[in-house]
Amino acid sequence: MEWGSGRAPLGGLFEGVCEIALGAGEARLCNFGYGRGLCPSFPEATVADAVRFSVAGSSDGVVKMVWILEKDHAPVEHGFLEYRESTREFVEKPEGVLGAQARVFVETYLGRRT
């Protein structure tokens, strides 16, 4: 559920249930990243501390995005995604949490654009 806006990584602030702390039923606000050492549920073995998304362009009904995984405020991995507005699907579906966050980001972007 969106409850704010601004320069948040997903295009807005969202409430949700932490998938890692699901057994404990803990609700968290985590979409800014960098929870390592601050959140008791943060997976220490993960490769990244945060993910960032940006729209690189849009043409012919396809939104082109870049994603960047960061650790200690530096990029460690990146990639590109394309989202078809007509079908509301990614050309190549991203998996896991990255895929869920990418979908929220692009849908928030499209909602603000119209």
Higher pLDDT, 88 or 38: 88
Kind and range of the H or E element at 106? helix 96-113
pLDDT digits (tens, 9 = 90+) for 30-42: 556 677 777 777 7
* pTM strictly above 0.85: no
Q: Is 10 helix (H, G, I), strand (E, B) or coil?
A: coil
Q: Is 108 helix (H, G, I), strand (E, B) or coil?
A: helix
CA pair distance 96, 70, nearest whole angstrom = 17
Instruction: Using the predicted structure, report yes or no on whether residue 57 has a pLDDT greater than 90.
Output: yes
Count of beta carbons in the 10 Å neighbourhood of residue 90: 17
Spans of all domains in the chain: 2-113
pLDDT digits (tens, 9 = 90+) for 16-28: 666 666 555 454 5
In this structure, the strands spanning 13-14 and 16-17 are: unpaired
Count of beta carbons in the 10 Å neighbourhood of residue 111: 11
Predicted confidence at residue 2, as pLDDT, reads 42
